[in-house]
Structure 1
């Protein structure tokens, strides 16, 4: 049995507007309904924007890190600002090389400086940076079958063996969770090594429950199941 990372779902007051922003920034195509930024190759996942009237309160549990080749950090920042981003002060120090921005609905993102060796080879969308415990990093490693590429001082990170973006958790102190996260992951069953077909949603849900997830109820889509990881962050297992 195995699960693939299908998409990052993001709550949005204006899903089409936010999808257009991220498609322009990532230089990817948008789905026919205008609400999903499509992956451009197999190591990427989609960004899907879900209509929501919920007000953003505080920092998100997840934010995106974009990488830079030599001398192109300023060009990425300029493109983001032209698309509707704004500069954001989250307490970063003047000597830190990354630039913090907010998308048109206030979701934080960082444009990482060129020469960052930690994200080398990850692609332009280099990382989902999450607030979370070491234990939740181990949960996600087992859930997706992605090896830990960092596990030190309470911080963890995983990456698909095929490459692509890392998913990382910053360790303690973890901000208290208040309400539903604005961002959550959708996972879909895929065929594991030696399997001719993927397992069903129910089988994968049972496996995640055994790893420490809890059941929340039905997901946004027909046949989907909503769960919470050991830190209480929402996720959905959706049919293939």
Structure 2
């Protein structure tokens, strides 16, 4: 029994429109029933394969354009590919963004809903990740936060310093999870968060996994959220995430 990263959950005013953007950006497919939720996922692999981490976009009345602790990094295979990808994303509606990055070799953009993401310069590390090279989580203590997430999902730590921790699935496939030290973290709204799911995806495992995470330092945050088939929790630094269960 273990937890696996199931999806990155984004809030949007128009889930269908942002879903189309993400699908075209990633080369994946978007699907939705018109009920305020659009899923973007690869067509060639399926969960629980770690390479099948998807993006789930949920419509809310006013998501605002706010700072968030989670963002995506897209990979590129060459300098020419990087330039082509940035140009294509801008044609799709992305705009340049200033996240205080200064003079760096990667490109920072905002999607049409204001979510910041990065297009990385070519890196050997990301040659086999698929279009999403990394899911990045800002934190104050990458070492401690990295230990929590490694134990939570059974992922392997590939690099750990005071500035960042780099984790990847035990199968060494799919995107990396990167914990980046971010001084002066703000009290940000949780516009984006991670959704985890037990594997196998069976009744009864959700409660057991939620209890295990509490033992690792997570906190339940369900109070006042209503009767949902998922458990809202926060990691030891207050980053929200959900543990999914069979509906």
Common fold: TM-score over 0.5: yes
SS of the equivalent of 1:31 reads strand
2:133 matched to 1:126? yes
Deviations 1:47-86 (A, max 9, x none): 0111123343543211111111122011111111111100
Task: Specify which of 149, 172, 179 is matched with residue 169 of structure 1.
Answer: 179
CA distance in 1, matches of 2:181, 2:77: 28
Cα pair 1:186 1:238 within 8 Å, conserved = yes
Cα pair 1:19 1:36 within 8 Å, conserved = yes
2:11 matched to 1:11? yes
Pairs aligned (count): 233
CA distance in 2, matches of 1:170, 1:209: 23
Deviations 1:29-62 (A, max 9, x none): 1124261102332312110111123343543211
Matched with 2:99 is: 90
Rate the CA distance shift 1:221–1:235 in 2: closer, same or farther, 3 A. farther
CA distance in 2, matches of 1:28, 1:57: 25
Superposition map of 1:196-207 within 5 A: 200-207=205-212
Deviation at 1:151? 0.5
After TM superposition, the score normalised by the length of structure 1 is 0.89
Cα pair 1:5 1:188 within 8 Å, conserved = yes
After TM superposition, the score normalised by the length of structure 2 is 0.87
- Mind listing any 5+ residue stretches in structure 2 that lack a counterpart? none
Matched with 1:151 is: 160
Cα pair 2:15 2:58 within 8 Å, conserved = yes
SS of the equivalent of 2:83 reads helix
- Mind listing any 5+ residue stretches in structure 1 that lack a counterpart? none
Say which is worse superposed, 138-147 or 44-53, in terms of deviation: 44-53
